[in-house]
Structure 1
Amino acid sequence: MSSIPGVEPQTDKEGFLRNIADWSETVARQLAQQSDIELERAHLELLLAARTYYELYGQAPLARSFVRYLQQSTPEFSSMSLMHLFPPSSTAGSSIKQICRMAGLPKPPGCL
């Protein structure tokens, strides 16, 4: 399915987009609502950074490598920063899993 206004993009049973090209800020906000997260600027910046990471490395980021990637431009960034913005939960999963889902990326390797 392509991005058509007013049409919900297709997701798998865990809420990951079936087609990465269907992603938009609006879709990200819809996916965030499912995890009870209201996306603010800091959230969106992380989602865009995750998408850039994916373009650079060809895979969804793992938490540690993503934090190191972010520290290149923001040295004080930490895994606690990820958890503060995207709190892990039993229903939504780890911080990095939520970030990848909301960024329209595939599920990170090793995430259950």
Structure 2
Amino acid sequence: MAIVVNGVSCETDENGYLVNLEDWTEDVAKVLAEGEEIEMTEAHWDLVKFLRGYYDEYQIAPAVKVLTKAIAAEKDMDKKNASEFLYGLFPKGPGLQACKIAGLPKPTGCV
């Protein structure tokens, strides 16, 4: 499977995740977000940038628990509110949807 962005074909796996992380651009992210029925806001982009930075540092996508803890600390909220915030942005699951849009592999432990 593949998506075409600005005339460039980007290969995706059977779940719609990019096969080659190097194919990711913000335009690719917008197309992936459309496929997930998500309209990207500044909060979405902030999370995508966080995920990409985390992946660059650790070579793995963070588990939702780690993501929730990081957002709670960054936004000065408790974990419950941070979780609600993340699911508000990515209703089908912040790990699955946000990582897909960020061009990262499907997180381990996500169904």
TM-superposed CA distance for 1:51, in Å, is 0.6
Q: CA RMSD in A?
A: 1.6
CA distance in 2, matches of 1:11, 1:54: 18
Structure with higher helix content = 2
Code of the aligned partner of 2:52? R
Q: Which residue of 2 aligns with 1:96?
A: 95
Gaps of 5+ in 1: 89-93
Q: Distance in 1 between matches of 2:71 and 2:94?
A: 15
Query: Which of the numbers 71, 83, 88 marks the counterpart of 1:84?
Result: 88
**Which amino acid is the alignment partner of residue 86 of structure 2?**
L
Q: 1:41-64: CA deviations, max 9, x gaps?
A: 111110110111111222011101
Q: Which runs of 4+ in 1 moved over 4 A?
A: none
What count of residue pairs does the alignment treat as equivalent? 104
Q: Secondary structure at the match of 1:18?
A: coil
For residues 1-112 of structure 1, the aligned pairs below 5 Å read 5-76=6-77, 78-88=82-92, 94-112=93-111
| 3-state secondary structure, aligned to 1:72 | helix
CA distance in structure 2 between the partners assigned to 1:62 and 1:27 by the alignment? 23
Per the normalisation by structure 2, the TM-score is: 0.85
User: Structure 2: any 5+ residue segments left out of the alignment?
Assistant: none
| Distance in 2, Cα, partners of 1:111 & 1:71 | 21
Name the SS for the 1:8 alignment partner: strand
> CA offset at residue 98 of structure 1?
0.3
Structure with bigger strand share is: 2
Identity %: 38
Shift of 1:107: 0.5
